[in-house]
Structures are given as C-alpha cells and as structure tokens.
Amino acid sequence: MTTNKTGTEIYKNKRVKNDKGVYFCPGKYLATGLYLVYQLCGNYDGRVRGGIAWTWRCIASDLTLDQAKKLLNKKAGRVEFV
C-alpha cells in the first residue's frame, strides 16, 4: 500500500495482470472512502536507467466498491475480486 500526495492509497499488493501483460490495481481516497482503479504505464524517460519509467495512472475514479470490483474483473478478463 502506497499513500501519495493527493490523499489516495494505491493497493499494489492486490494488482492483477491480464492476458496482454497489463497490470491493474485498486486504490482508495482517504477523505471520502471512494475507490479508484490504476493501470501500470511505461513511458520513455531519458533520466531513468533503461529508458522506461513505470508509473501508476488513474483510469477511473469516484467509484463505489462494487463498481471498482466490476471494472477490475473486466480489465483482468476473469473474476479476481468477488
């Protein structure tokens, strides 16, 4: 679990990988209790060894728990979160 400057937690230990090799994980706003869904993205960065910087990007926000589970299962291509 990682807390960032925007007041959200990213649950990296609950990440799922789909068939294409893309990682997704849930997150949560600390103030409101609403959920987010993040995707691991790699972009070119000349300052990083190897040239690729990996960051978690928010793809959906302000979701209820059921909506976040449904979206994560859809992105993973299988039922991971019940």
pLDDT the model gives residue 55:
92
Phi, psi of 28 (to 5 degrees): -150, 135
In the structure encoding, which two tokens stand for residue 6, read together?
A: 């925007």
pLDDT for 4 beyond 70: no
Question: What gap in Å lies between CA 64 and CA 82, rounded to an integer?
Answer: 14
Reported as a single tens digit per residue, the pLDDT across 19-64 is: 999 999 999 999 999 999 999 999 999 999 999 999 999 999 999 9
Band of pLDDT at residue 7, cut at 50, 70 and 90: confident
pLDDT the model gives residue 26:
95
